[in-house]
Structure 1
Amino acid sequence: MKYTKYVISGVIVVAALVIALASFAMVPSGYRGVVLQLGAVKPTIFNEGVNFKIPFIQTVQPMEVRVQKEEDSQTAASKDLQIVTTKVAVNYSLEPGSVNKLYQEVGMDYRTRVVEPAIAEALKAITAKYTAEELITKRPEVSKEVKDLLTTKLSKYYMKLEDINIKEFAFSEEFNKAIESKQTAEQNALKAKRDLERVKIEAQQQVTQASAEAEALKLKKQEVTPELIKLKQIEVQQKAVEKWDGKLPSVTGGATPFIDLKK
């Protein structure tokens, strides 16, 4: 009887410890706890940390409320029927106060049931509104429309869209060649325009220079007077006299007879 009493006491202590431990639920940081009572979802949501629950009756399902990332790639047709493959990165989070509703209506596989289909549908819907070229030139506008549509879709399932980043638009090889040819043509046209402008400027400079030279020549002609010509002749004669050594030529040609001036 003595040992039986000890055994019973030990069992009671162990049972008490088990019940005590089963009365507490630990919710990790960045999570919320969905309370299930015999399988049914309760309105109560446990915050992170230690929470009290009914042992063996209630269980807790942790659900992450931190920002989560989903990367996806979708192929769709643009407005001009070009095949476009869009790579996108989506950041989203669960609404902390509604994780019980999300668990009840969707379950833990909300990523495959809600997030991925919503991204695919939003990308295809917005891509079809733009031509392939507009998807490139109006990328910020496209990104905003995708974000707005995806926000609406996720909010129906108690999720919040944090951000979206369109990483790449990939087109067919034929379209890429067409874009490259168009860019080359535009560059050649721009170069031809610049060359034409350069030629016009150079021609204008030549006209201006010729006009200036003609004007200068005109002014010089206006400055030439009979007095100036006579003065120049006197200056030439003076220089000739200054250079003469006082000797006359001793030989003359033609029919003039030889004269020796020294005699």
Structure 2
Amino acid sequence: MAQKFRDAFQKMAQNIPKGGAGGGGEPGRGAGAAKAASRAAGSLIVAGGLGYGAYNSIFTVEGGHRAVIFNRIVGMKPQVYNEGLNFNIPWFERPIVYDIRTRPVNLQTLTGSKDLQMVTIGVRVLHKPDQNNLVWIYRHLGMNYDERILPSLMNECAKAVVARYNANELLTKREEVSAAISAELSARCSGFHVLLEDVAITHLAFSPEYAKAVEAKQVAQQDAERAKYVVLGAIQEKKTIITKARGEAESAELIGNAVKRNPGFMKLRRIDAAKDIADTVAGSGNKVYLNADSLLLNLLGDADDKFEKSVHGQSRGWLGK
């Protein structure tokens, strides 16, 4: 094409006369120069038209894209053009290129749950056009098909699904809610030849009043659990005290019976107590000056005899009664 432009300019330069048409020049020579100039201009126009046609008769479809062609005579052609170099008729046909790669769209809406709690839910959808129906999409929706249909469909499907669940179920059954929204939205988008690859709940928030109520409920449950453990602790402490008192009473009763049957039992107890006290005093670095009777160390005196006499006297009194 560049060579054709150069040839046309060379022919025009060769045919243009070096001298002017006036003065002493011949009249026929001026007419011939004008005719040559018109031929050169015509050649230049033809070369420009050929260059324009060659440049506009091809178009390239990039990776991840598809193209459809609008014809000025027949309208939209049914063929979908794949990636690579493709041909069309200049001026009569115009290519429209679609991006068929997956794209995200986000929506956040305020809706009500089954128990009439206001919920703010955010949904992210990964979508792409059906490459086999690009002609229909361009004819009915245009290039910005996702902006035309997805916001309204996502809003409607999210509201319809959330209304089936209670507020607490939206948290405990989040995966189930997401699957339900995906199924509803896929069914609606299929009628517009839009394919969905993933639907996910990205945000889920309740009203401040409901959040405070849930927090208060949790605090009350924790207080109730704490009170239950306090009651259990008190019951166990009561059982411990009762068991200890019963043990002391039984121990006192056993000791009393042992003393009644054998007064020498007290001597053994006095000897054990004296041994313990003696060990404690001997291990101490201080000097101790105390009454031996108060420390139960007077084991050689008549304390045991007095005790035995008192025990025998009491036993006779009980027998007399």
Q: Structure 2 stretches of 5 or more lacking a match?
A: 1-34, 256-260, 275-298, 301-321
Q: Cα offset for 1:27?
A: 2.3
Residue in 2 aligned with 1:14? Answer: 48
Which residue type is aligned with residue 10 of structure 1?
L
Q: Cα offset for 1:111?
A: 2.2
More displaced 10-residue stretch of structure 1: 186-195 or 209-218? 209-218
The question of 1:4 aligning with 2:38 is answered yes
- The one of 205, 222, 234 equivalent to 1:187 is 222
Which residue type is aligned with residue 41 of structure 1?
M
Hey, what's the Cα distance between the residues in 2 that align with 1:211 and 1:36?
103
Q: Cα offset for 1:47?
A: 1.8
Aligned residues: 241
The question of 1:84 aligning with 2:111 is answered no
Distance 1:82 1:47, change over 3 A: same
Hey, what's the Cα distance between the residues in 2 that align with 1:161 and 1:211?
76
Hey, what's the Cα distance between the residues in 2 that align with 1:46 and 1:186?
65
More displaced 10-residue stretch of structure 1: 204-213 or 84-93? 204-213
Q: Which has the larger radius of gyration?
A: 2
More displaced 10-residue stretch of structure 1: 209-218 or 68-77? 209-218
Distance 1:85 1:3, change over 3 A: same
Hey, what's the Cα distance between the residues in 1 that align with 2:174 and 2:160?
15
Residue in 2 aligned with 1:252? Answer: none
Hey, what's the Cα distance between the residues in 1 that align with 2:212 and 2:78?
59
Hey, what's the Cα distance between the residues in 2 that align with 1:164 and 1:217?
78
RMSD: 3.5
| Higher helix residue share | 2
Q: Deviations over 1:4-51 (max 9, x none)?
A: 333322222221111111111222332211211117221111223321
Distance 1:2 1:83, change over 3 A: same
Q: Deviations over 1:42-74 (max 9, x none)?
A: 111122332111221111111111111111111
Residue in 1 aligned with 2:102? Answer: 67
Which residue type is aligned with residue 113 of structure 2?
S
Distance 1:112 1:202, change over 3 A: same
The question of 1:176 aligning with 2:211 is answered yes
The 5 Å alignment of 1:22-171 reads: 22-38=56-72, 40-171=75-206
Hey, what's the Cα distance between the residues in 2 that align with 1:90 and 1:147?
9
Which residue type is aligned with residue 6 of structure 1?
A
More displaced 10-residue stretch of structure 1: 113-122 or 162-171? 162-171
| Higher strand residue share | 1
| SS class of match (2:96) | strand
Hey, what's the Cα distance between the residues in 2 that align with 1:200 and 1:29?
77
Which residue type is aligned with residue 152 of structure 2?
P
| SS class of match (1:168) | strand
Hey, what's the Cα distance between the residues in 1 that align with 2:79 and 2:250?
99
- The answer to which structure, 1 or 2, has the higher relative contact order (CA under 8 A, 6+ apart) is 1
Name segments (4+ residues, structure 1) moved above 4 Å: 194-218
TM normalised by structure 2 equals: 0.62
Q: Deviations over 1:157-178 (max 9, x none)?
A: 1111121221222322221211
Hey, what's the Cα distance between the residues in 2 that align with 1:163 and 1:197?
52
| SS class of match (1:150) | helix
Residue in 1 aligned with 2:3? Answer: none
More displaced 10-residue stretch of structure 1: 153-162 or 196-205? 196-205
